[in-house]
Amino acid sequence: MRLDGKTIIITGAASGIGQASARRALEEGARVIGVDLNGDGMPDGVEPVIGDVTAAATIARAVETAGTIHGLGTIAGISRSGVAIDELSPEDWDQVFAVNVKACWQWLVGALPSMRAAGGGSVVMVASQLAFGGGRLNAAYIASKGAIVSLVKTAGFELAPDNVRVNAVAPGAIDTPMLNGSMSRAEDPAAARDYSRNRHAMKRFGQADEIANGVVYLLSDEASFSTGSVITIDGGWTAA
């Protein structure tokens, strides 16, 4: 029960890594407010707040529902992979950055007054192994994940006096609807899956729970000396 007595907001709680993180947080004793575009897929026991993470009104509703906030996982994300860097539309670039970067900052700012009043808190964001290695046909997404690496460093530094820790996990390719969507947009989806799987030292995709375990650790007091850090959980992708 590593999160016993904590109230935690998880965005993207209806699918993939956010869903697994919400379920693991519940198992560890937390009260979980889940935020997503719709409630289907949210684990039983999650208190749903339905809305777009980029909307100030969604943040306000979640903050009000939570009351005291001890933890925040900004896990909702989108990808526009499969598009050449010079064919990506400015609208898609902006949308990726709005969800993957700006919303993470907005949610942190929204949760901050409550965390400060509680004497501290933990914020966990989701970067990607691709922030360290690059990749093709995915410029906006990969740049957005690089921004998360920098955001947790600056926020972790700035908010340390408030006892608010800010960290990220950097997953490898994880078997979720997002990964399946990205692969299906490749020219040869089967070949793309094989290439991506074998690019990991462990020659497999990760499971959402393997990232959720890292999220739960960073949300818990076991990570009391971690801030401004990025934990890579990537089956050896960056090592290979």
Nearer to ligand NAI, 50 or 118 (CB): 50
Minimum CB separation from ligand NAI for residue 18, in Å? 5
Nearer to ligand NAI, 38 or 224 (CB): 38
Structure tokens at 63: 């903050």
Structure tokens at 108: 């942190």
Give the DSSP H or E segment for 10: strand 7-11
> In this structure, is the dihedral angle defined by the CA atoms of residues 43, 44, 48 and 50, taken in order, positive or negative?
positive
CA–CA gap between residue 173 and residue 184 (Å, rounded): 14
The β-bridge partners of 34 are 10, 48
Minimum CB separation from ligand NAI for residue 119, in Å? 28
Minimum CB separation from ligand NAI for residue 15, in Å? 3
Burial grade of 19 (CB within 10 A; 0-12, 13-18, 19 or more): buried
Nearer to ligand NAI, 14 or 69 (CB): 14
Catalytic residues: 141
Q: What is the strand order of the sheet 7-11 is part of?
A: 47-50, 31-36, 7-11, 71-74, 121-126, 164-171, 230-233
Burial grade of 240 (CB within 10 A; 0-12, 13-18, 19 or more): middle
Residues that bind ligand NAI (CB under 6 A): 12, 14-18, 36-37, 52-54, 75-78, 99, 126, 128, 171, 173-174, 176-179
Minimum CB separation from ligand NAI for residue 161, in Å? 28
Minimum CB separation from ligand NAI for residue 58, in Å? 7
Nearer to ligand NAI, 113 or 177 (CB): 177
Nearer to ligand NAI, 78 or 160 (CB): 78
φ, ψ dihedrals at 81, nearest 5°:
-75, 165
CA–CA gap between residue 200 and residue 173 (Å, rounded): 8
